[in-house]
Structure 1
Amino acid sequence: MNVRQWAGDLGLGVRFAFTGGREGWTRALLTAVGVGLGVALLLLTTAVPNALAARDRKGDERVDITYAETRMPKANDTLVVANVDTDYRDRTVRGRDLEPEGARAPLPPGVAAFPKPGEMVVSPALKELLDSDSGALLRERLPGRIVGTVAESGLVGPGELTFYRGADDLARSIDGGRVDRIDAFGKQTYPTPERADPVMILLILVVFVVLLMPIAVFIAAAVRFGGERRDRRLAALRLVGSDSRMTRRIAAGEALAGAVLGLLFGAGFFLAGRQLAGELEVRDISVFPGYLNPSPVLALLVAVAVPAAAVLVTLLALRGVVIEPLGVVRSSTPRRRRLWWRLLLPLGGLGLLLPMLGKGRENGDFNEYLVIGGVVLLLFGVTALLPWIVESVVARMGGGGVSWQLAVRRLQLSSGMAARMVNGVAVAVAGAIALQMLFAGVESDYTEDTGQDLTFAQMQVSLPSGVPLAPAAEKLRHTQGVKAVHAFDEGFLSDRAKDPEDGTMMTIGDCASLARIARVSACRDGDVFLVRGAVNDQGVDLDKLGTAGRTLYLDAQGGRPDRKPVPWTVPAGVRPAQAMAGLQPGVDRGGFLLTPKAAAAVHERIAPGLTGETYLDVDMSAKDVQERVRNTAEAIDPLTYPMTWVSTRQTDRFEAVRTGLLVGAACVLALIGASLLVSQLEQLRERRKLLSSLVAFGTRRRTLGLSVLWQTALPIALGLVLAGVVGVGLGAILLKMTATPIRVDWPGVLSMTGIAAGVVLAVTLLSLPPLMRLMRPEGLRTE
């Protein structure tokens, strides 16, 4: 057997695929659609890393606040920039106030000219939001006149909400935190890289395997569309003289043609999906279509692997089919499927994963090859076990109504085809259940307690230095939905003007507000208290600091080296107070508490060292109460910093991985639905004459419709049960690998199986109209 003979037979199969009449090209088209959907998703998957890298690169190019320890002097090429980010409902709005200090001040990426005070340059998405009815409250917060839009070079995604606003007199507020002076965008102070988290790497590896496995299964199933009709056509080739090996190679050529056409379809679907991706946004993440460029090496691998897999799958499938000149021996009693070799796949997967049990994050990294190999073998075990389970179960079924008997008999004759149709669903559900368990198990490791007591306040508004506290607090009190405001002026006192050894807090507020942060008795305006027992004052000699007549120094720098510490003398008659335990760090403060009258004489002198903090008790059930508070804060001063308190917060990287999983799962779910629909239509097409014959003999259409539903529901039910068992088992192993207690997330398991069942039900309902059209007498016509 030489290469020329192989090429000739494959080429003959390719010709049959496109010149074999309506049956040939219909099968090729169905195969191409099925393969194309899988290829498109593979290409999108290989493009995701490049898209994320492009987003990061765009973000790095516009970095402005550097948090550098030294302040840059004013020059002809410097720009003062202020971070004025805000939130609007559940979205983040990136904002910067700009004040150029010379003719050569650097322009932000994507901005053609500096906006003047009262003007804004906004992103297209933000302009659309501001122009819409839903952006009414945001328009109140950003009333500047829009004079331009930020170009793509200055955005990380098409859905990003960002603006640049002209400002003046920003230099006085430079603090190295939210306001800074720069001479170029993109300069960064890189933190020391952290040690890679083994559990996070494990999460990422499993996410990729679980998302890619169903795609591979669907592609393998798609190349076998129309197998029965193809085999009957091949019998004619045996009649004219081809041997069995040549016939199989011709069949492989037909599959190769469909796979290559599927690559072209996949490229088209990918380009369409890439354009659609520019319109989608998941958790504030969007990408420009140009970012989604698959890696050339991975794209080449897909282009080679898919046709090769099509040929291999076809040759393997035809090993159990005897194609003779007078027909295809497929309808006789088939040999029972063997179980022993099917169990080897999951057992092999367990063998690869077992050495890593109990490693956690303290005992080194997980071997990525063993992780990938073990998870792949376990999930492939689903595809190997499901045909055996379906065959074993339906072989013992019988009786029932006509629709049930029709469905069971069909499954008994071709259980393999039914199992292939649901294999991808079972693999996806098994992987999703395992991931759900893993995420739920390790979630607490990536969730930190903020310490914020929501019974004390639900929002906080920090005022910049120099903004009077009392008027600001009054405006916040009159905001719709705000029930109470507790306002404080705060500063830090040191025992020395230079190189201090000890220090504590100074807090100024009325008696009602002070009573919220410490236990004070018989408070009157004019009193001064010294709080003992505060967490922040552990190790501080308060007796020494609280000596009457002692001079302490209020830190007035606020990030500005030109400001000197302000002296403050401890007055006589300081009264004791006790710290109030249970409040968040920063609220449970100690040190000196002053009432407004006690601070009035020195307030003007110490004001540069004080910052205002307001804690708001708000009615969170009131509509848009947070937006109204933010609008009030913006009206007080653009540099105010409103925050919504939360009891817990998850790390950014964990959130990013979970977001990636949601995006990938949505794409795989769409593929599941589309591929199942194509597979269902292909099976109905092959059974057109049989359906028409049954209708001609008087079978009710309703009965046939129910039989199609049962044929889909039985394998799906068995597949979901198997997926649940394998998914829970894999999830338990992954949890043991991360040294996390095993806990089955039953709501997650039920939700995953419910979603899969819903997709299958939707596909079945969509296939009913074509089924009704196929059940016509015209279906008996032959050519």
Structure 2
Amino acid sequence: MKRALSDLLLGARLSLSGGRTSWWRMGLTALGIGIGVGLLLVGASLPTAVQAREQRASDNFPYVKADEPPRIYFVDWNTDYRSQAVVGRFVRPGEGDPALPPGVPALPRDGEIYLSPALADLLASPEGAELRPRFPQKVVGTLGEAGVVAPDDLRFVAGSASVPDDKYNAFHGFGGREEEPASPDPILTMLVVVGLVVLLAPVLVFVATAARTGGADRDRRLAALRLIGTAAHRTRMIAAGETLVGSLGGLVAGFGFFLLSRTVVEKIDLLGLTVFASDLWPSPWLVVPVVLGVPAAAVVTALVAMRRTVVEPLGVVRRGTPARKRLWWRLLPIALGVALLATQTGLLAEDDGTVSTMALLLGISGMLIGGPLVLAWVIERMVLKVSGGPPAWQLAVRRLQLDSGTAARVVGGVAVVLAGVVALQSMLIGTASRVVTSPPPTTDQGAVTVYIEPGDPAATDRLAAELPRLDGVRSVESARNIQFDEGSEKTVPAIVGDCEGLLRRTALPSCVDGRVYDVRYAGEASRPVPRPGTTLDLDGQSWRVPDYEVVRLPDGSPARDGLFITLGALDGLTVPNDGGLRLLAEVDPAKPGLIDEIRNTAAPLEWRVAVGYTGETGRSAREDRFAGLQRALLAGSILTLLLAGASLLVQSAEQLRERRRPLAVLAASGVPKAVLARSLLVQNALPLVPALLVGIGVGSGVSALLLGIIDEPFALDWAGVGLLSAASVVVVLGVTAATLPALNRATGALGLRAE
């Protein structure tokens, strides 16, 4: 052990004293590893970021103490603006010292408001012009980080003297979430496991590839070591020590990239996902494996890379014809992965099923890592059968025939990315049918509902009169919420309107003026509805309940239930206007901005009004988590694809540096630089074809096995596959274009110089 450590340190000293060439090689190695380490640290920060978001959400949850007077009254309210949700609270102080919502230094008074930074920026920009009328209050400050969940949250806390001081709005403080945490959702947990493996497996491949950068440039130094009597096995350990220096530099660079990303992370919006810089700190128990594992992986990779290299005093036998790659052992990881995933088939066919997380991790990892191993064999067999063609083609093919392993390692990362994202997309498609259960809207999308809470009859009547005057509003029907008094402190809620309005807002098969309808869901327990002939009191007026028709709604129907009374059934009774009012407006769907204009018209009513499209259904918490997870996974896929491009660029630059003399000789012999540039493009693009095929094949296999676990039919997003394949081609073209300046320098006369 002591001798091995001594050999590693000697290799490190030799690499540090190797001159400009050695420093350049170590810099490329450190850059490649640093990019991977930076992404690993970002991945290690995700648990901390998720925990911080959940903690802020919990801190904003109110609590009640039964034995103390309320310290704050508030009403939650939300609106939409151009498909963005704007949420907030209207507050008023309670007794004693008021409880402060998180993120505000003092409770806003009536007519004052605190805005989140994102909402303040939106209102101050031209894009927020149509939203400003909904917030006429005086802005007295911005919400702190504790008052929002994410940097792009559109939130506010406004003071309003109209908030009722009843028991439904009375609270004593914030941060008192007491309900038991929900048990982990097996489908979403499976998606998280798949996403982590898919996003981190390519990073490990890139780190291993970067650790082998510049192996050919060490040949002369290794031969010199053998000449002075160093044993062959010690020479390999010394070579691994040189790689160790680059990996340690990569660790430093990776932490630098990570710290740099924290300075701009709040300004980055990847598919709607943003985090605070303070949330992006890796968990210590995840940092330790990265810090220890990356150098260890670099040393092991270097030793494996030299297992077939014979270091002799007169040179290194590396440039001769390499031994043919064997296929059988390259299929073992894939076979192991298939076997492990097959053992989980059907275990999540029901939502209450369980699955082995370790089997998922090892199974997916085995198949993804086995892909590049098989790809190396495929590329070798492919280039051996290629011959002829134009000069650029022949130069590229000959280079690949001499060293197909390097090309396979470079595009192997692209294959892993493609396989992982194909599997991930298929999983998202398959699980969506299990998670997203909200039925699509079935009512007229040209209809807008406006519900007004009771409390200000004058403002309610004013809005009801202004709404029909808006350009684009074709008609407005109204229905009021009323409460009958049955005696003994019993009340009977009901909705009163004309037949046209009731038919459009309910699932009634038909409507006749003068009738009453009791709408309830199928299988619902009998609700206490007064019997026909019962006399009720409505604001001092007597009303006798007529015969009514019971209408059963199917389970899951988005239509509302309740007691619906046509105007003719009231026998001329006057409907009081102190109850809630529902307005149904038929609007022109082709008129842009009309819904925002309606919301702005209703803005003076503050929390008392809610505007929405008829037929819209709210998403469940499970659907919200699925949507957030989907955005996070797609954002991670984009980052991983960018990492593939960066790794390919580093490896291409290193290959040009190693081949500068042959390239300079070719240019001096009369080969045009355009031919050399095209050969470089072919050299990068030709291995990409089998990489795409292997990536799609492995990804399809992984997705088929994973969908079998949840008992969903195999579905492949061919549009997504085509887009990812095209993106991979664009990455190769971009990398080739980026290396053209280095090619121009390598083919200059200085490239002929011998040291």
The reply on whether 1:529 has 2:515 as its aligned counterpart is yes
Aligned to 2:156: 163
Aligned to 2:684: 712
TM-score of the aligned structures, taking structure 2 as reference length: 0.92
The reply on whether 1:38 has 2:36 as its aligned counterpart is yes
Equivalent runs, 1:166-181 vs 2, <5 Å: 166-171=159-164, 174=166, 176=168, 180-181=169-170
Aligned to 1:140: 133
- Please identify, of 589-598 and 236-245, the stretch whose mean Cα deviation from structure 2 is larger: 589-598
What amino acid sits opposite 2:479 in the alignment? Answer: F
Query: 2:278 aligned to 286, 290, 298, which one?
Result: 290
- Residue 275 of structure 1: SS of its match in structure 2? helix
Q: Distance in 2 between matches of 1:707 and 1:599?
A: 91
Q: Distance in 1 between matches of 2:131 and 2:67?
A: 34
The reply on whether 1:638 has 2:607 as its aligned counterpart is yes
- Residue 164 of structure 1: SS of its match in structure 2? strand
Identity among equivalent pairs (%): 36
Contact preservation (8 Å) 2:77, 2:88:
yes
Q: Distance in 2 between matches of 1:284 and 1:423?
A: 30
Aligned to 1:62: 60
Aligned to 2:321: 333
The reply on whether 1:277 has 2:265 as its aligned counterpart is yes
- Per-residue CA deviation, residues 533-586 of structure 1 (Å, 9 max, x unaligned), is 7657977699x94634x22478xxxxxxxxxxx7874448x6978969899957
- Please identify, of 135-144 and 84-93, the stretch whose mean Cα deviation from structure 2 is larger: 84-93
- The 3 A distance-change label for structure 1 pair 453 and 479 is farther
Query: 1:680 aligned to 652, 656, 659, which one?
Result: 652
- Per-residue CA deviation, residues 688-722 of structure 1 (Å, 9 max, x unaligned), is 11111111111111111111111111111111100
Aligned to 2:46: 48
Q: Distance in 2 between matches of 1:519 and 1:148?
A: 52
Offset of residue 366 of structure 1: 0.6
The reply on whether 1:130 has 2:123 as its aligned counterpart is yes
- The 3 A distance-change label for structure 1 pair 461 and 414 is same
- Per-residue CA deviation, residues 408-451 of structure 1 (Å, 9 max, x unaligned), is 10000000000000111101110111111111112111112346
Aligned to 1:558: none
What amino acid sits opposite 2:150 in the alignment? Answer: G
- Please identify, of 293-302 and 415-424, the stretch whose mean Cα deviation from structure 2 is larger: 293-302
Equivalent runs, 1:373-392 vs 2, <5 Å: 373-392=362-381
Q: Distance in 2 between matches of 1:583 and 1:295?
A: 45
Offset of residue 249 of structure 1: 1.2
Offset of residue 521 of structure 1: 6.7
Contact preservation (8 Å) 2:32, 2:210:
yes
Contact preservation (8 Å) 2:273, 2:628:
no
The reply on whether 1:737 has 2:709 as its aligned counterpart is yes
- The 3 A distance-change label for structure 1 pair 97 and 626 is same
Contact preservation (8 Å) 1:235, 1:327:
yes
What amino acid sits opposite 2:465 in the alignment? Answer: E
Contact preservation (8 Å) 2:271, 2:634:
no
Q: Distance in 1 between matches of 2:242 and 2:272?
A: 45
Aligned to 2:495: 507
- Residue 323 of structure 1: SS of its match in structure 2? strand
Q: Distance in 1 between matches of 2:446 and 2:531?
A: 30
What amino acid sits opposite 1:715 in the alignment? Answer: P
What amino acid sits opposite 1:547 in the alignment? Answer: P
What amino acid sits opposite 2:476 in the alignment? Answer: V
Equivalent runs, 1:190-589 vs 2, <5 Å: 190=179, 193-282=181-270, 284-362=272-350, 364-450=353-439, 452-455=441-444, 458-468=447-457, 470-491=461-482, 497=488, 506-516=494-504, 517=506, 518=508, 523=513, 528-531=514-517, 535=521, 545=530, 547-548=532-533, 550-552=534-536, 569-571=542-544, 585=557, 587=559
Contact preservation (8 Å) 1:352, 1:370:
yes
Contact preservation (8 Å) 1:120, 1:165:
yes
Aligned to 1:4: 2
- The 3 A distance-change label for structure 1 pair 84 and 236 is same
The reply on whether 1:87 has 2:75 as its aligned counterpart is no
- Please identify, of 40-49 and 350-359, the stretch whose mean Cα deviation from structure 2 is larger: 350-359
Q: Distance in 2 between matches of 1:98 and 1:656?
A: 29
Query: 1:628 aligned to 597, 608, 612, which one?
Result: 597
Q: Distance in 2 between matches of 1:229 and 1:305?
A: 25
Q: Distance in 2 between matches of 1:420 and 1:370?
A: 27
Q: Distance in 2 between matches of 1:737 and 1:597?
A: 57
Contact preservation (8 Å) 2:115, 2:142:
yes
Offset of residue 767 of structure 1: 2.0
Contact preservation (8 Å) 1:480, 1:628:
no
Contact preservation (8 Å) 1:81, 1:181:
yes
Structure 1: which 5+ residue stretches go unaligned?
A: 555-565
Contact preservation (8 Å) 1:552, 1:567:
no
Contact preservation (8 Å) 2:36, 2:643:
yes
Q: Distance in 2 between matches of 1:403 and 1:247?
A: 38
Structure 2: which 5+ residue stretches go unaligned?
A: none
- Per-residue CA deviation, residues 329-384 of structure 1 (Å, 9 max, x unaligned), is 12222211011111111011111111111222437311111111111111111021
Q: Distance in 2 between matches of 1:445 and 1:653?
A: 13
- Residue 84 of structure 1: SS of its match in structure 2? strand
Offset of residue 677 of structure 1: 1.2
Q: Distance in 1 between matches of 2:327 and 2:485?
A: 77
- The 3 A distance-change label for structure 1 pair 245 and 45 is same
Contact preservation (8 Å) 1:95, 1:162:
yes
Q: Distance in 2 between matches of 1:268 and 1:695?
A: 39
Give the alignment's Cα RMSD to 1 decimal: 2.9
Q: Distance in 1 between matches of 2:564 and 2:131?
A: 39
Offset of residue 761 of structure 1: 2.4
- Residue 322 of structure 2: SS of its match in structure 1? coil
Q: Distance in 1 between matches of 2:723 and 2:571?
A: 60
Aligned to 1:765: 737
Contact preservation (8 Å) 2:118, 2:152:
yes
Aligned to 1:96: 89
Aligned to 2:143: 150
- The 3 A distance-change label for structure 1 pair 483 and 220 is farther
Q: Distance in 2 between matches of 1:739 and 1:569?
A: 59
What amino acid sits opposite 1:355 in the alignment? Answer: T
Q: Distance in 2 between matches of 1:451 and 1:490?
A: 27
Aligned to 1:779: 751
Offset of residue 453 of structure 1: 2.3
What amino acid sits opposite 1:51 in the alignment? Answer: A
Query: 2:107 aligned to 96, 107, 114, which one?
Result: 114
Contact preservation (8 Å) 1:407, 1:708:
yes
- Per-residue CA deviation, residues 74-111 of structure 1 (Å, 9 max, x unaligned), is x4x61111212222223222311121134401122221
TM-score of the aligned structures, taking structure 1 as reference length: 0.89
Contact preservation (8 Å) 1:531, 1:576:
yes
- Per-residue CA deviation, residues 732-772 of structure 1 (Å, 9 max, x unaligned), is 01111111122333223222322222222222222223222
What amino acid sits opposite 1:759 in the alignment? Answer: V
Offset of residue 319 of structure 1: 0.7
What amino acid sits opposite 1:710 in the alignment? Answer: V
Offset of residue 488 of structure 1: 1.4
- Per-residue CA deviation, residues 638-663 of structure 1 (Å, 9 max, x unaligned), is 33122344468471121122122023
Q: Distance in 2 between matches of 1:71 and 1:476?
A: 43
- The 3 A distance-change label for structure 1 pair 551 and 746 is same
Contact preservation (8 Å) 2:85, 2:154:
yes
What amino acid sits opposite 2:532 in the alignment? Answer: T
